[in-house]
Structure 1
Amino acid sequence: MKSVFFLSLMNGGAWGGSEELWFRTALWMSRHDYKIGIGCYDWAEKQDRITELKNAGCAIYLLPNKKGLFKKAAVKKALQSIPFQEYNLTVINQGGWEEILHSPFSNLYKKLPAYIILNHNYNENAVLSFKKQKLLEQWITGAQMNFGATQKIFEVVQNKFNISIDNKQTLVNPVTFTPDTTPGLYPPVTNDSCTWVMLAELDTARKAQDILINALSSPKWKARNWQLHLYGKGKDKEKLEKLISELALEEKVFLKGFTTNIKQTLLDCNLLLQCTLIDAMPLSVVEAMATGRPCVVSKVGDMPAWVEDGVNGFICPALTVEGIDEAMESCWQQKNNWAVFGKNAFETFIKKYPQPYEEKIAEILSIYIN
């Protein structure tokens, strides 16, 4: 029996979109005659998923979610109890790209029969000591494959640390709903009335909601008939509330909070805006295209590989007030073509997104099982 162990090092929150890939693939593989083991941090909010994995026959090894001085020791002890040697392949999931460099995971590669790494983000300002750079190189060169949510991850590592990555491949994360076989019915733009949405954590340093709001605060935009719904939670909620009030945009821009009904939210909108400073390949863009909605995006991560300016969406020339205004103005002047752009976006999704997702990813991972 083929066997795979999934080890997720993500611990910045209870759950993230970057964990859906391993979770859903592990479920599928366990239900299709693979021996599957799971190692992840213990969060109360994860219990439903952990139960689902257990019921599917997965062996579960929880890493203690402790704080303080004894955290590393507790995680190290839990890690030592995992029988990695009993599995043909270990899939290591990172929220970013460098969790593997920190204790107690830093030397784990020496104990693994075979492993691949899933990387989900990058940091162009990262600084690593010479020792850490060499450790990262050892991890990368020893991997059967290095997967990334965007090609940009590999470019940053290669350019900043002079590490050659020969065995690399991009891998898109799964959408959170079952895609339809046709694009969703496009909402009519009546009397120029339209709704735009943004699905992102309220973190302006990364997601730049403040720049977007400022770009839409000029007299010409205030005179137009649109609404922007910002979905998500985060540390900058009060900052954004204050900005909306200061710019007198209370009837234009709305903080809608967290939503679990992503598909319906996208079906109800005319455009998705993902004009961000830091992103890999945002799931929101893939999901918007899956519903047949055009996107306005920045030149960040792999978004330009999915969005073609003036064909299935629009790309901001720069992530500034002026750059966003330029892209949005071009978009506004072509609003009669938004439905066509949406259909083009759906066609792009069909071409780029692996379906059936879990089966396709399992096939890819199986290549690296010794």
Structure 2
Amino acid sequence: MRIAVVSTMGATPWGGSEELWALMAGHALDDGHEVALFVHRWPELHPALRALSERGARLYRRGRSYALAGERMAGRVLRRPVRLSPPPVLSSFRHLYAWRPDVVVISEGTFFSFVHVGEVADWLAESGTPYVPLVQYLSDAYGVADAFRERAARFYGQAARVAFVSAGNLESGQRQLAARLPNATVVQNPVKLVDAGPMPLPPAGPAQLASVGRLAVGDKGQDVLLQTLGGPAWRGREWRLNLYGTGGDEGYLRALAGMYGVADRVAFHGHVTDVPSIWAANHLLVMPSRAEGTPLALLEAMRCGRAAVVTDVGGNVEWVREGHTGFVAEAPTARSFGAALERAWAARAEWSALGRTAYDEAARRLDAEPGRTLLNMVTGAARAESD
């Protein structure tokens, strides 16, 4: 079978959203399928892409499309959405059309990001080629225009399958579309950790709180966390906040820590690839996200035996049970997250037991081969469409 993967991610060369389809592609090559990958061009080829290419995957890297700027300009002039399709000879996806895959996986870093490969969506509809959108993230913060909602409902509704990484995202997606998706299912992202059992907590001392994720407050909500820890209740307590990650909001967060008078208790560690080293040094995951899929950082923390304080967004509550594996804030606000963090602080003598329960929950529920699961779903959907 010929399997094509089209990644919509263009902000960075690689991210957690790419790990699942890359695993799937590896299994497909192992099974004798042909694989073609369509990704953005970056100065350096990511090692995962290089490895797949060396194993036989076709790799096509595309530049930025002239159509996006042209569409925006025409839309401003005409005061309505405008679609521009490049002639086939200029299309970044001409090799996809010529290859004629049996099925196409559209990897969407965010719901609705198929729009960034709109010409592919048009070709899929015209050619009748089966396709599977893989949705890694969804935010409820944005409104959707009626015309676009109708287009999106057609795109997702006509897919062979639609894969979300959390049931919460699936339900929110249907609400945003105002349409049910009977073809939708939930898959898991890979957790690449050697299972060595739950890690012991760090030695006694100040409570070490870890925030793991991009420094992007619009999604990850670290500003809410600093507001909470800068409140009067936390001034007399012994704690340290460790931020792991990089992003455009680092300067803002440093300034915010200074404004709240907690800069001496907040450390910025940058991007750390050694996940066990994070949890060897920290007692508790704190995740005040405004939007999520199912965060890999949460699953990694659970796999290392750590409880978490999270917000009720995305798939968080599908993994964190109040008082059993962590604590849940109903909303990504300082009041709500602060209340959840208070409950966690009052139960700090139980953090080790909560972490053990979190580890057991992760061990029981995590898919041992999520890439294989996705491949079976993709090939099964393609065969069903061809029957």
Which TM-score applies when normalising by structure 1? 0.91
Distance 1:60 1:247, change over 3 A: same
For 1:324 and 1:172, how far apart are their aligned partners in 2? Answer: 26
Task: Compare 138-147 and 28-37 and name the one that shifted more.
Answer: 28-37
Match of 2:114 among 97, 100, 104: 100
For 2:290 and 2:11, how far apart are their aligned partners in 1? Answer: 20
Match of 2:95 among 60, 64, 81: 81
For 2:46 and 2:254, how far apart are their aligned partners in 1? Answer: 33
Task: Compare 317-326 and 303-312 and name the one that shifted more.
Answer: 317-326
Counterpart residue number, 2:308: 295
Counterpart residue number, 1:52: 51
Distance 1:359 1:66, change over 3 A: same
The answer to whether the Cα contact below 8 Å between 1:84 and 1:90 also exists between their aligned partners in 2 is no
Counterpart residue number, 1:172: 188
Please tell me whether residue 155 in structure 1 is matched to residue 174 in structure 2.
Answer: no
3-state SS, counterpart of residue 46 of structure 1: coil
For 1:154 and 1:84, how far apart are their aligned partners in 2? Answer: 33
Distance 1:151 1:352, change over 3 A: same
Letter matched to residue 362 of structure 2: F
Distance 1:30 1:290, change over 3 A: same
For 2:102 and 2:91, how far apart are their aligned partners in 1? Answer: 22
For 2:28 and 2:304, how far apart are their aligned partners in 1? Answer: 27
Match of 1:144 among 141, 160, 172: 160
Task: Compare 351-360 and 339-348 and name the one that shifted more.
Answer: 351-360
Task: Compare 314-323 and 265-274 and name the one that shifted more.
Answer: 314-323
Please tell me whether residue 343 in structure 1 is matched to residue 342 in structure 2.
Answer: no
For 1:212 and 1:45, how far apart are their aligned partners in 2? Answer: 35
How far residue 83 of structure 1 moved from its aligned partner, in angstroms, is 4.4
Task: Compare 329-338 and 94-103 and name the one that shifted more.
Answer: 94-103
For 2:355 and 2:215, how far apart are their aligned partners in 1? Answer: 26
Counterpart residue number, 2:75: none
How many matched pairs? 366
Match of 1:122 among 123, 127, 138: 138
Counterpart residue number, 1:4: 3
Letter matched to residue 314 of structure 2: G
Distance 1:170 1:84, change over 3 A: farther
What do the CA deviations read for 1:206-231 (whole angstroms, capped 9, x no partner)?
22211111111234322222111011
Please tell me whether residue 241 in structure 1 is matched to residue 257 in structure 2.
Answer: no
What do the CA deviations read for 1:305-328 (whole angstroms, capped 9, x no partner)?
100011011111332222222211
The answer to whether the Cα contact below 8 Å between 2:21 and 2:371 also exists between their aligned partners in 1 is no
Q: How does 1:38-49 map to 2 (within 5 A)?
A: 38-49=37-48
Distance 1:237 1:69, change over 3 A: same
How far residue 93 of structure 1 moved from its aligned partner, in angstroms, is 0.6
Q: How does 1:1-370 map to 2 (within 5 A)?
A: 2-65=1-64, 69=69, 73=86, 77-83=91-97, 86-102=100-116, 103-110=118-125, 111-175=127-191, 177-188=192-203, 190-191=204-205, 193-370=206-383
Task: Compare 89-98 and 75-84 and name the one that shifted more.
Answer: 75-84
**Gaps (5+ residues) in structure 1?**
none
Distance 1:200 1:307, change over 3 A: same
The answer to whether the Cα contact below 8 Å between 2:208 and 2:241 also exists between their aligned partners in 1 is yes
Letter matched to residue 322 of structure 1: R
Task: Compare 80-89 and 233-242 and name the one that shifted more.
Answer: 80-89
The answer to whether the Cα contact below 8 Å between 1:197 and 1:228 also exists between their aligned partners in 2 is yes
For 2:70 and 2:115, how far apart are their aligned partners in 1? Answer: 19
Distance 1:152 1:356, change over 3 A: closer
Which TM-score applies when normalising by structure 2? 0.87
What do the CA deviations read for 1:85-111 (whole angstroms, capped 9, x no partner)?
643221111111212235333413222
3-state SS, counterpart of residue 319 of structure 1: coil
The answer to whether the Cα contact below 8 Å between 2:14 and 2:46 also exists between their aligned partners in 1 is no
- Percent sequence identity over matched residues? 22
Task: Compare 113-122 and 70-79 and name the one that shifted more.
Answer: 70-79
The answer to whether the Cα contact below 8 Å between 2:240 and 2:266 also exists between their aligned partners in 1 is yes
The answer to whether the Cα contact below 8 Å between 1:122 and 1:152 also exists between their aligned partners in 2 is no
The answer to whether the Cα contact below 8 Å between 2:188 and 2:370 also exists between their aligned partners in 1 is no
What do the CA deviations read for 1:54-99 (whole angstroms, capped 9, x no partner)?
1111111222246785897499612122147643221111111212
How far residue 358 of structure 1 moved from its aligned partner, in angstroms, is 2.8
3-state SS, counterpart of residue 276 of structure 1: coil
The answer to whether the Cα contact below 8 Å between 1:85 and 1:113 also exists between their aligned partners in 2 is no
The answer to whether the Cα contact below 8 Å between 2:5 and 2:37 also exists between their aligned partners in 1 is yes
Letter matched to residue 113 of structure 2: E
Letter matched to residue 182 of structure 2: D
